[in-house]
Amino acid sequence: MNKGKQRRSPRPEPEQTLRGLVVKNTGSWYVVRPEGGGALVECKIKGNFRLKGLRCTNPVAVGDVVAVDLKPDGTGMIARIEPRRNYIIRRASNLSKEFQIIASNIDQAVLVMSLLSPMTNTTFVDRFLATAEAYDVPAVLVINKVDLLTGPASRAVLDETTQLYRSIGYRVVHTSTVSGEGLDELREVVGHRVSLLSGNSGVGKSSLINQLVPGADLRVGEVSHVHHKGMHTTTFSEMLDLPGGGALVDTPGVKGFGTIDFERSQVAHYFREIFALGQGCRYGDCTHTHEPGCGVLQALERGEMALSRYQSYLSIIDEDPDNKYRKPQ
């Protein structure tokens, strides 16, 4: 037998694969930046990813490191997600059983708020902070539009809000994209880190990004990028590189992230001052709502804890038996 004449079975085409970072999620496409450089690759998802048994509408998130199988047409299929250092998820819509991962592998969450046009409500802020605590993501507050706070009354609100959150231990930065105040401080806060930027619409997120990321050229004054597909809200998010290192993750259309998966008894852990005051409660399982000898209720009565924070706490655990602390509708 002549070995040379043996028929070779056709060798399968070696599958081209690469590893990269997901830098954009449009809802239908994921844009992956290959490790070590090269052109961005538009990808779809292969198969089914689940997250701890939760149904996810967008299982791959900006910030994920992924393995991609390349197709001959230059697009890719995301085949695997590397383990995440952290991630932030939210319900796809109110009452929905499906979840969206907003971002993963982030160093900090920056909440942009404003006290005038629009006024960010404190419950929104506190829920954001509590969620960040729950996910172990450091949070920073940015109060934008401080140029609008000129009168003594609005200055007093600015001081009070700032002092409140600083006293709990959060960094609070004042900014204005109009006067330029605080922009250098904000550059320093976000430099060399990956920051998730959130905030209700109109507070000036796009304006701030335009100041921090030259060439970002985001549209200002736009409320959208949210598409309602039946019950689902799909959102796109994008990672924008900062010139000096680090990146901002912009999530237009994501107002904030709700409080999901909170064990009722855990909520107090996510309010730093309530957790600290709770050390003085008579009962170890105190819910800080009605119990005698409650360190939190005592601090409230003495005016040593902000009522707004306590109301936010109650809004999450949804308990206020005497309706004593409930904000009027």
Interface ranges with Mg ion (CB under 5 A): 206
DSSP state of 183: H
Residue whose CB is less far from ligand GDP, 156 or 178:
178
With binding defined as CB under 5 A, does residue 21 bind Zn ion?
no
User: How many other C-beta atoms lie within 10 A of the C-beta of residue 317?
Assistant: 17
Residue 35 CB neighbours (<10 A): 11
The backbone torsions φ and ψ at residue 299, rounded to the nearest 5 degrees and listed phi first, read -65, -35
Contact flag: residue 203 with ligand GDP (CB under 6 A): yes
Residue 294 binding: pick among Mg ion, Zn ion, ligand GDP, none (C-beta 5-8 Å cut-off by kind): Zn ion
Stretch of 41-49, 88-96, 200-208, 315-323 lying at the interface with ligand GDP (CB under 6 A): 200-208
- Could you identify the residue written with the tokens 């990028």? 225
- Beta carbon of residue 116, minimum distance to ligand GDP (angstroms, whole number): 8
Q: Residues 6 or more apart from 42 whose CB is under 8 A from it?
A: 29, 30, 31, 32, 75, 76
* Cα 79–chain centre separation: 25
> Which region, judged by CB under 6 A, interacts with ligand GDP, from 18-26, 218-226, 262-270, 309-317?
218-226
Q: Give the Cα separation of 53 and 70 in Å (integer).
A: 28
SS3 140: strand
| CB nearer to Mg ion: pick between 206 and 233 | 206
Per-residue mark of binding to Zn ion, 287-306 (x: CB under 5 A):
-x-----x-x----------
Of 25, 58, 144, 235, the residue at the interface with ligand GDP (CB under 6 A) is 144
Selected range binding Zn ion among 32-40, 98-106, 189-197, 279-287, rule: CB under 5 A:
279-287
CB contact at 8 A, 276 and 266: no
Whether the CB-CB separation of 128 and 111 falls below 8 Å is answered with yes
Residues that contact ligand GDP, how many (by CB under 6 A): 18
Q: Which residues bind ligand GDP (CB under 6 A)?
A: 144-145, 147-148, 176-178, 199, 201-207, 220-222
